[in-house]
Amino acid sequence: MKKPPEDLDAWAFYHKARSVQAVYNKDSQHEAIQWSQKALEKDPDFAAAYGEIARAKGVQFFYQWTKDEEATLQEAIDTAEQSIRLDPNDPGAYAALGYVYRYTGDETRAIANLERAAELNPSNANIRLELAHTLDWFRHQDRALPEIEQAIKLSPRDPRLQNMYFYKVHILFHLKAFEHSLEATRGMSAALTTDTWRMYYHLMRAANFAQLDRTKDAEKSIQSALKINGKLSVAAMRKKFEGSKNHPENRRFWLESLAKAGLP
């Protein structure tokens, strides 16, 4: 990876972009792109800022927070590739490209780019997080679990700790280790800072409770999620997943569990 930009404002803007992008709501993704663009105004060759734009645009595509989803996805890929062209040894650039390729359903490119990123910087917790998420996405939960555990170990006070614990909970759920998944929600609960992840915390607990036939606990968790987002429904979540290209068995098991838990 090249040295950080000499312009301290560019560096500060980039870190602001990283911070807000992790919030995972519509406004935060737009804000992350704006902060990254500010960084690029200060340093047009700042590869990592392009990578952050790519991540934000990928999230905009996934959550349908854009008028032209396919154009936004292509912009995410192009921006990640620009990051690599600017710095072929930047692990974050490969991680961004791999993370975005998830949304295309290209398992080989997604995993290969993230594994390359992990080779370049094996101690980067965020890269481990993104590799774990991508392996989970393509239903390789057995490979994903040690990656997410390593991410948490590497950075136990990380600003993305709520994200890390969510994926640990999610991975264990798909491994059908429901009690262990519920146990991991305790760590997630302690790390929560935003309503988006509070909602997913309640949904994960609901899905686990449903599989354990703890009906009242499942219903209570669904109601807690609905208090945060009253528009939640199985149909709305199914629509969101339709264009995401994640593994169909992940989709089926998750949505069936939420329906069993009582999600409308």
Domains of the chain: 1-122 (1.25.40.10), 147-264 (1.25.40)
Residue-wise pLDDT for 119-136, tens only, equals 999 999 999 999 999 999
* DSSP H helix total and E strand total for the chain: 14, 0
Of the candidates 135, 6, 224, the one whose C-alpha atom is nearest the C-alpha of residue 232 is: 224
Of the candidates 93, 33, 84, 94, the one whose C-alpha atom is nearest the C-alpha of residue 61 is: 33
pLDDT at 60: 94
What does pTM read for this prediction? 0.87
**Sole residue written with tokens 């098991």:** 253
pLDDT at 3: 57
pLDDT at 8: 85
Classify residue 106 as exposed, middle or buried by CB count within 10 Å of its CB (0-12, 13-18, 19+): middle
pLDDT at 178: 99
pLDDT at 100: 93
Q: How far is it, in rounded angstroms, from Cα 70 to Cα 245?
A: 13
pLDDT at 64: 86
Q: Which residues of the chain have pLDDT under 50?
A: none
9, amino acid identity: D
pLDDT at 4: 62
169 close to 163: Cβ distance less than 8 angstroms: no
Q: How far is it, in rounded angstroms, from Cα 18 to Cα 176?
A: 32
Q: How far is it, in rounded angstroms, from Cα 148 to Cα 125?
A: 9
Q: How far is it, in rounded angstroms, from Cα 62 to Cα 104?
A: 10
36, amino acid identity: S
Two tokens at 113? Answer: 């780019």
